[in-house]
Amino acid sequence: MKTERVLLEVIATTPADAHAAARGGADRLELVTAMGEGGLTPSIGMMEAVAAAVDIPVNVIVRPHSRSFVYDADDLAVMLRDVRAAKRAGANAVVIGMLTTSREVDRESLKRVVDAADGMPITFHRAFDETRDLHEAFDVLLGFDAVTNVLTSGGKASVLDAAARIEALVTRASLSHCTVLAGAGLTVDRVADFVCATRVTAVHFGSGVRVGGNGLAPVDEDQVRRVRSLLDAV
């Protein structure tokens, strides 16, 4: 039996999504635009509207394009502006990730993001799954106090195919300040067994709680409620 509530994070793209997720029992939102591209930075107006729409924390993705997770100086300058804008707009945290050309965590750029966030927590997103060595990358991220969550599918297209790797990362994180946030490919029907197998304490849903399982459809409040009920029963 788990001794703590499993955190449920749901992707929102609009205020309507945010309301539906919150009513369904989500603990936190990840606000993005362009779901079809894996999530890009939303507008400042959308950040402000969603932060004002719900009482649960809103984490805002900062990702300027979907070409890669390797960013040049101009990209980084934009990202730092967006980090500051997200904080002003009422974000709880930013969701961000950057890699070097050798597929390692870009430490120098991440340090600059931490400075720009000025105390706001950071979730390192699934750029993590493209690193050459997940455990090495995780150790690097553990060196950043500001990085409080790592969103990962365990290096697989679906996190459901990476249960053993997720369990290993959860064990590695257990005595740290950082939480493994398991996401990508989670389904309502399999989430309870997955949580039991991996001992993960935070899960992330996108298309799995949208109408018809379609990533471009609205959030389905009833599906969010089902997930919340299943997690509470674990």
Angle among Cα 147, 149, 150 to the nearest 5 degrees reads 100
Taking only the tens place, the pLDDT of each residue in 174-202 is: 989 999 999 999 999 999 999 999 999 99
> Backbone phi, then psi, for 58, in 5-degree steps?
-120, 115
Does CATH number 3.40.640.10 belong to domain 7-233? no
What pLDDT is stored for residue 37 in this prediction? 93
What pLDDT is stored for residue 2 in this prediction? 47
What pLDDT is stored for residue 78 in this prediction? 98
Confidence of residue 154 (pLDDT cuts 50, 70, 90): very high
179: helix, strand or coil = strand
Whether the model pTM is above 0.85? yes
- Residue 10: closest CA among 198, 215, 171: 215
Residue extents of the structural domains in the chain: 7-233
C-beta separation of 90 from 62 below 8 A = no
Taking only the tens place, the pLDDT of each residue in 121-143 is: 999 999 999 999 999 999 999 99
β partners of residue 210: 219
The rounded percent of the chain whose pLDDT value lies above 70 is 99
61-76 b/e (C-beta count within 10 Å ≥ 16 → b): bbbbeeeebbbeeebb
What pLDDT is stored for residue 3 in this prediction? 55
Taking only the tens place, the pLDDT of each residue in 77-93 is: 999 999 999 999 999 99
What pLDDT is stored for residue 110 in this prediction? 98
Q: Is 90 exceeded by the pLDDT of residue 1?
A: no
